[in-house]
């Protein structure tokens, strides 16, 4: 067994059967051999959205494919980036060239390849807003294919890449389209203080980076995976029930008539900021972030804490928070809700 601590940002003590690092297209042949032999494997980029709740018996495939280029069209820029590129560094690279669009997604940890899988989002923007195509490689057929935006089936923190249909495939490259007619997205939080008529791309980028740095722990110092839970979607009946009692509740109306509620606020209302259990903790500045507070917490301990948080929020607000983080067990990805439910019963 190999130590997997260095391959995920929670940095819990966990083991994997073996580690295969993909640095070039020739390395994909080793992945094909695994699939041909029927041996289990799963892929990660920088491991910023993973929690090992048990040791994994299979092969952890680490995507380190690197390349990026910027193509100029009449009205847009097209960015082509390999899946192993660091997401934030790609955003920074574009901002340094005065190419706007992705600045609201600055400082989201992880790799480019994880962006479409998770349909990452923050501060009023999502990856799907800009995605043109996603290239995948099928380890069984050794064939590349390109999925259009529509074929990616993007949803809130979801995509086709999370479905069984994509088993045996890994993301190798993405294509992103950014309009030359940049319009700042200042709809969220402190960004509303900026002047939309005079603000620059770099000013938005800098404010996002400062806001995230002030609120969120550095995973290099405190193990975490960023937002642990998704912001729940509720109906108008829930709003009518709870809003009169909680005037400051952050509620965002959606086009379909439902509402998004800030999960971090719900957790905070349960007085859980700074709460610790078995070495795992709720971050003192942002309740949506669970941490390996002691540096020695197990993945199971973090899952137990998540179950505790989930139960407290449900008791107070009748909302069952859904994990955003992916859980890995002995045989691969497991259903997070089932894991948390089992801990709630114990």
Helix axes 299-317, 336-345, angle to 10 degrees: 80
Helix (H/G/I), strand (E/B), else coil: 306: helix
Checking if the pLDDT of 201 tops 80, the result is: yes
The pLDDT value recorded for residue 219 is: 92
Strand partners, 301: none
* Number of neighbouring beta carbons within 10 Å of residue 89: 13
**What's the average model confidence in pLDDT over 76-87?**
98
The pLDDT value recorded for residue 149 is: 98
Give pLDDT tens digits for 129-184: 999 999 999 999 999 999 999 999 999 999 999 999 999 999 999 999 999 999 99
Q: How confident is the model at residue 265 (pLDDT cuts 50, 70, 90)?
A: very high
> CB-side exposure of 57: number of CA atoms within 13 Å?
4
Give pLDDT tens digits for 224-263: 999 999 999 999 999 999 999 999 999 999 999 999 999 9
Query: What is the layout of strands, in order, in the sheet containing 326-329?
Result: 50-52, 326-329, 332-334
Catalytic residue numbers, as ranges: 157, 227, 324
The pLDDT value recorded for residue 190 is: 84
Q: How far apart are CA 183 and CA 185, in angstroms?
A: 6
Helix (H/G/I), strand (E/B), else coil: 212: helix
Q: How confident is the model at residue 122 (pLDDT cuts 50, 70, 90)?
A: very high
The pLDDT value recorded for residue 25 is: 87
The pLDDT value recorded for residue 214 is: 92
Residue 208: φ, ψ to 5°: -60, -45
- Per the prediction, the chain carries an average pLDDT of 95
Checking if the pLDDT of 346 tops 80, the result is: no
Checking if the pLDDT of 315 tops 90, the result is: yes
The pLDDT value recorded for residue 198 is: 95
Closest CA to 99 of 134, 59, 68: 68
Query: What is the layout of strands, in order, in the sheet containing 41-44?
Result: 2-3, 15-22, 56-63, 41-44
Position of tokens 């045996």? 168
CB 297 within 8 A of CB 273: no
For residue 255, the 8-state DSSP code is T
Checking if the pLDDT of 330 tops 90, the result is: yes
The pLDDT value recorded for residue 187 is: 87
Q: How confident is the model at residue 121 (pLDDT cuts 50, 70, 90)?
A: very high
Give pLDDT tens digits for 33-71: 999 999 999 999 999 999 999 999 999 999 999 999 999
**b/e code 179-193 from CB counts within 10 Å (16+ = b):** eeebebbbeeeebee
- What are the distances in angstroms from CA 17 to CA 51, 253, 333? 16, 46, 15
The pLDDT value recorded for residue 345 is: 73
* Number of neighbouring beta carbons within 10 Å of residue 1: 11
Give pLDDT tens digits for 276-305: 999 999 999 999 999 999 999 999 999 999
Share of the chain above pLDDT 70, in %: 100
Share of the chain above pLDDT 90, in %: 94
Structure-block tokens of residue 285: 């500045």
The pLDDT value recorded for residue 189 is: 79
Q: How confident is the model at residue 188 (pLDDT cuts 50, 70, 90)?
A: confident
Position of tokens 């994880």? 114
The pLDDT value recorded for residue 119 is: 97
Q: Where are the alpha helices (DSSP H) in 41-186?
A: 87-96, 114-118
Residue 201: φ, ψ to 5°: -60, -45
Element (H, E) at 145: strand 143-148
């Amino acid at each position: 067994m190999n130590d997997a601590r260095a391959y995920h940002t929670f940095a819990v003590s966990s083991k994997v059967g073996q580690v295969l690092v993909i640095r070039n297209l020739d390395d994909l042949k080793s992945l094909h051999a695994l699939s041909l032999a029927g041996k289990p494997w799963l892929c990660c980029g920088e491991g910023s959205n993973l929690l090992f709740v048990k040791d994994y018996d299979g092969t952890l495939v680490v995507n380190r494919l690197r390349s990026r280029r910027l193509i100029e069209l009449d009205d847009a820029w097209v960015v082509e980036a390999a899946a192993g590129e660091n997401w934030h560094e790609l955003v920074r690279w574009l901002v340094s060239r005065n190419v706007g669009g992705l600045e609201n997604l600055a400082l989201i940890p992880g790799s480019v390849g994880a962006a479409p899988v998770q349909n990452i989002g923050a501060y009023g923007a999502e990856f799907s807003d800009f995605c043109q195509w996603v290239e995948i490689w099928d380890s069984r057929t050794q064939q590349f294919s390109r999925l259009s935006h529509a074929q990616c089936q993007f949803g809130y923190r979801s995509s086709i890449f999370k479905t069984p249909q994509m088993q045996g495939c890994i993301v190798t490259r993405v294509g992103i389209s950014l309009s030359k007619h940049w319009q700042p997205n200042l709809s969220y939080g402190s960004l509303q203080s900026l002047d939309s008529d005079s603000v620059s791309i770099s000013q938005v980028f800098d404010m996002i980076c400062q806001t995230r740095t002030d609120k969120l722990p550095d995973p290099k110092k405190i193990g975490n995976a960023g937002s642990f839970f998704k912001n729940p979607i509720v109906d108008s009946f829930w709003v009518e029930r709870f809003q009169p009692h909680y005037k400051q509740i952050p509620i965002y109306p959606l086009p379909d008539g439902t509402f998004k509620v800030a999960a971090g606020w719900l957790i905070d209302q349960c007085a859980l900021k700074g709460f610790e259990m078995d070495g795992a903790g709720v971050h003192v500045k942002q309740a949506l972030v669970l941490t390996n507070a002691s540096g020695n917490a197990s993945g199971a301990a973090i899952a137990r804490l998540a179950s505790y948080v989930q139960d407290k929020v449900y008791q107070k607000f009748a909302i069952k928070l859904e994990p955003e983080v992916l859980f890995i067990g002995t045989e691969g990805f497991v259903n997070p809700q089932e894991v948390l439910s089992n801990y709630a019963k114990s």
